[in-house]
Structure 1
Amino acid sequence: MAILAQFDLVKPKYPKVDPRMEGFYSSTAYVNGLAEAHAGFIWREVNEDQKLLDELWGEGYLYTLSLWKSPAALKDFLYKTPHNEFRLRGAEWFLPITKPRVVMWWVDDDHIPTLHEAHDRLQLLHEIGPSREAFDLKSSELSIALC
């Protein structure tokens, strides 16, 4: 059975200690708790590898790497829970990224995705566009048809 791997990359506008980032950092545990309590949630990386992240994308990025039961479950969490309020405030805290910054792909239910894997999938999405191997929320319905 396939489950959904999801990777989301952001670049903060300001250093972590800047008061303008307080709203983001003070809500992180709350938002992570919302995700973990969601019926569609399976797993998220909690031991983030900042050194590897810096090597793969450059300094200053943050990420989320998680597993979900389906694109519908992820969309429900993103848009129909209090997470949506924080998502809508993203421009306050994060710089625009011109390349794709969110990627999803299907994995076996016993597979835990890695940061290297996420990097490769995001590159694939950027280079060839949505496919079964790398897609975004907009193209997630197509990925289900190809599954």
Structure 2
Amino acid sequence: MSESWHLAQVNVGRFVAPPGDPRIEPFMAALDRINAIADASPGFIWRLQDDSGNATAIRPTSDPLFAVNMSVWRDADALFDYVYRSAHTPVMARRREFFDRFDGAYQALWWIPAGHIPTIDEALGRLWRLDRYGPTAQAFTFKARFPAPDESGVPVDHQPDPWCVGRA
């Protein structure tokens, strides 16, 4: 595990309805609880948030239903544990109720120097790179993980945890 590098992640989506609509209320009602779990998770470093404590009001595009979520973690295993082995998992499993299907890459991972806070433009650029070129050291996925820049090794094709199959 590298102490010089941390793992940044971005995931985006387009809500099926605007804030205040009952169709997305269960998602919105769970945000504070899920964000608190992230904040307390081993390996968590930072997450994008506005004054309300979440990122749903941040509008990085002209589409009022487009949502962006970003966070920084010690490593991919810490992020994976939060995403797939915590109370976050059941909420994520319902994402099709709250978000439209997304054309293209909707999640990207990349290494950043420890202490760096990624910008939304940086994150959207990583999504574009992943969508355009597939997994590379500059933008990758949980399944095709690349080692931190100061670690030797080749990308690892991770097989999903059997518990997670069909849930992501």
8 Å CA contact 2:16–2:65 kept in 1: the answer is no
Q: Deviations over 1:85-142 (max 9, x none)?
A: 10111111110002000011000002110001001111111111100000111112xx
State the distance in 2 between where 1:50 and 1:36 align.
19
Is 2:58 aligned against 1:50? Answer: yes
**What TM-score, normalized by structure 1, do the two folds share?**
0.91
Per the TM alignment, residue 12 of structure 1 is displaced from its structure 2 partner at its CA by 0.6
Query: Displaced runs of 4+ in structure 1, greater than 6 A?
Result: none
Q: Relative to structure 1, is the Cα distance of residues 16 and 59 closer, same or farther in structure 2, using a 3 angstrom cutoff?
A: closer
Q: Does 1:71 align with 2:76?
A: yes
**Is 1:31 paired with 2:34?**
yes
CA contact (8 A) 1:132 1:146 kept: no
* Inter-CA distance 17–31: structure 2 relative to 1 (3 Å threshold): same
Q: Which runs of 5+ in 2 are unaligned?
A: 148-152, 156-168
Number of the residue aligned with 2:135: 130
CA–CA distance in structure 1, aligned partners of residues 58 and 68 of structure 2: 9
Q: Which has the higher contact order (CA 8 A, sep 6+)?
A: 1
- Alpha-carbon distance, 1:59 to partner: 3.5
Q: Identity rate of aligned residues, in percent?
A: 30
Residue 124 of structure 1 contacts residue 134 of structure 1 at CA under 8 Å; is this kept in 2?
yes
Match of 1:7 among 5, 10, 15: 10
Matched, 1:20 2:23: yes
Say how many residue pairs are matched: 142
RMSD: 1.5
